[in-house]
Amino acid sequence: MTQRETLENWQRAGRTVIHEADAKDLLQRIGIPVPRRDPDHGRCAAKLCHDDYPHKSDHGLVRLGLSPEEAKQAAAEMAERFAGGTALIEEMEEGSVAEWIIGCKRDDTFGPIVLAGPGGILVELIDAAEIRLAPATPQTAEAMVRSGPGARLLTGLRGAEPADKGALADLISRISVFFAENADLISEIEINPVMVRADGKGLVAADALIVLSSNADEQEKLT
By CB atoms closer than 10 A (0-12, 13-18, 19+), residue 121 is exposed
> Closer to another protein at the Cβ: 131 or 151?
131
Answer for which of 69, 111, 137, 152 binds another protein (CB under 8 A) is 111
Cβ atoms 58, 114 nearer than 8 A: no
Name which of 47 and 132 has its Cβ closer to another protein.
132
Q: Name the DSSP letter for residue 102.
A: E
Asked whether position 109 contacts another protein by CB under 8 A, the answer is yes
Q: Please, which residue, 185 or 211, has the CB nearer to another protein?
A: 211
- What's the closest the beta carbon of residue 51 comes to another protein, in angstroms? 11
Regarding 18 and contact with another protein (CB under 8 A), the answer is: no
- Evaluated on CA atoms 14, 16, 19, 24, the torsion sign reads positive
Q: Is 74 helix (H, G, I), strand (E, B) or coil?
A: helix
Binding span for another protein by CB under 8 A among 23-31, 61-69, 158-166, 185-193:
185-193
Q: Which of residues 135-174 bind another protein (CB under 8 A)?
A: 140
**Contact yes or no for 203/31 (Cβ under 8 A):** no
At its nearest, how many Å lie between another protein and the CB of residue 134?
11
Answer for the pair 201, 177: CB distance below 8 angstroms, yes or no.
Answer: no
Residue 211 is a binding residue for another protein (CB under 8 A)? yes
Residue 54 lies near another protein (rule: CB under 8 A)? yes
In angstroms, the Cα distances linking 7 to 45, 123, 136, 153 are 27, 28, 22, 34
Q: Would you tell me which residues interact with another protein (CB under 8 A)?
A: 17, 54, 101, 103-105, 107-111, 113, 115, 117, 123, 127, 129-133, 140, 188-190, 192, 209, 211
